[in-house]
Amino acid sequence: MTIKLNLEEVFLSGIAGKRPIIVSGPCSAESEHQVVETAKQLEKLNVHIYRAGIWKPRTRPDTFEGMGSVALPWLQRVKKETRLLVATEVANSWHVREALKYGVDVLWIGARTTVNPFAVQELADALRGLDIPVFVKNPINPDIELWIGAMERINKAGIKKIVAVHRGFSSYGNSHFRNNPQWEIPIELKRRIPEIPIVTDPSHICGNKEFLFEISQRAMDLNFDGLFIESHICPEEALSDKDQQITPEELGNLLNKIVFRSMTITDNELKNTLAKLRTQIDQLDDNLFDIFEQRMNISETIGKYKKENNITIFQPGRWKEIIEKRIKDGEKKGLSTEFVSRVFKAIHQESINRQNRVMN
């Protein structure tokens, strides 16, 4: 089911003057000098919106929780002394009132707030009737409905400038990333709400500087609408998220390295080549479907025999044998373990469902 939000068309170009939109600035506003100096350096780059956290949602107490309202005049200075629009995070109605009092141009709702419908509704009520862009970060858990629900609440309050921020999803245990990107979720969001602009936040996905470029390039290759990247004049001294922040100079290098590809194909020869390759893909997908159908029919037949002979559906030994063999075969064919195991888990589950239907 697609969802219709009442959004202002192409407002991204309205607020940013350009696509992709680049939002950058420190994780937290720490001092007037840090805020203004970072902004002056970012102004020289292709950055449109300056971000800085005033109130910080920290995981543990007794850590730096942001400077609070005293830092709002620093953002006002950025607004006055540079061409940048300024943005900050709001988590309750008081934050909204304070930010508006100081002329903050853009608000964002953090991942820890998006998860909470009470908090989002409080924000929506505080924003009712205003004309201000609101960026909504994905919730920390991979729940697309919560993300959509938050955007719906804000939209129902009359906000028509909404941008979804893809900042990854937390998980327990070791991972390459601080927050797994799970690209399928923002891709699904785009399918459900085609008109929603999406920007990716590589900083909070990575948690370090190492993969910022890869994640940024990937977001641009998926035709997302922009990037939200933390930068600090002196990252090693940052009071929050110091491992993932880069200097404005590093940001400039990163942006220069990104290849911005076009979504529209104008060249006719290229159009024909792609059309031919796509026909081949469609043909292969038809074959895959025929094979799935055959495979599921055989599963059902097996289910009948299991029923007649009173044997359980799930046979752990057989399943182990299949998955191990296919992962090994996959390696030879250049198919990643992650892909093979996801595909086979889905096939296996569908097989179980079919046999379950036959049995019961």
Per partner kind, with CB cut-offs from 5 to 8 A, the member of ligand PEP, Mn ion, none near residue 225 is none
Only one of the segments 27-35, 137-145, 275-283, 345-353 lies at the binding site for Mn ion (rule: CB under 5 A); that segment is 27-35
Per partner kind, with CB cut-offs from 5 to 8 A, the member of Mn ion, ligand PEP, none near residue 160 is none
Should residue 27 be labelled a site residue for Mn ion when binding is judged by CB under 5 A? Answer: yes
As measured in angstroms, the least distance from the Cβ of 14 to Mn ion is: 27
Cα distance between residue 113 and residue 136, in whole Å: 9
Q: Which is nearer to ligand PEP, 115 or 340 (CB)?
A: 115
- As given in the structure block, the two tokens for residue 20 are 């992709």
Q: Which is nearer to ligand PEP, 27 or 107 (CB)?
A: 27
Q: Which is nearer to ligand PEP, 64 or 319 (CB)?
A: 64
Show the CA angle centred on residue 23, arms to residues 34 and 235, nearest 5°.
35
Decide: helix, strand or coil at residue 72.
Answer: helix
Per partner kind, with CB cut-offs from 5 to 8 A, the member of ligand PEP, Mn ion, none near residue 150 is none
Should residue 241 be labelled a site residue for Mn ion when binding is judged by CB under 5 A? Answer: yes
Should residue 30 be labelled a site residue for Mn ion when binding is judged by CB under 5 A? Answer: no
**φ and ψ at residue 134, rounded to 5 degrees:** -125, 120
Interaction site with ligand PEP (CB under 6 A): 27, 53, 57, 110-112, 137, 167, 204
Only one of the segments 64-72, 155-163, 234-242, 314-322 lies at the binding site for Mn ion (rule: CB under 5 A); that segment is 234-242
Given the structure tokens 């697609």, which residue do they identify?
2
Q: Which is nearer to Mn ion, 30 or 241 (CB)?
A: 241
Per partner kind, with CB cut-offs from 5 to 8 A, the member of ligand PEP, Mn ion, none near residue 57 is ligand PEP
Contact predicate 257/213, CB 8 Å? yes
Per partner kind, with CB cut-offs from 5 to 8 A, the member of ligand PEP, Mn ion, none near residue 137 is ligand PEP
Q: Nearest residue by C-beta to ligand PEP?
A: 110
Only one of the segments 25-33, 58-66, 150-158, 323-331 lies at the binding site for Mn ion (rule: CB under 5 A); that segment is 25-33
Q: How many residues form the binding site for Mn ion (CB under 5 A)?
A: 2
As measured in angstroms, the least distance from the Cβ of 57 to ligand PEP is: 6
223-250: burial string, b at 16+ Cβ within 10 Å, e else: ebbbbbbbbbbebeebbbbeebbbbbee
- As given in the structure block, the two tokens for residue 79 are 């607004």
DSSP letters along 269-332, please?
HHHHHHHHHHHHHHHHHHHHHHHHHHHHHHHHHHHHHHHHTT--S--HHHHHHHHHHHHHHHHH
114-142: burial string, b at 16+ Cβ within 10 Å, e else: bbeeebbbbbbebbeeeeebbbbbbbbeb
Q: Which is nearer to Mn ion, 58 or 328 (CB)?
A: 58
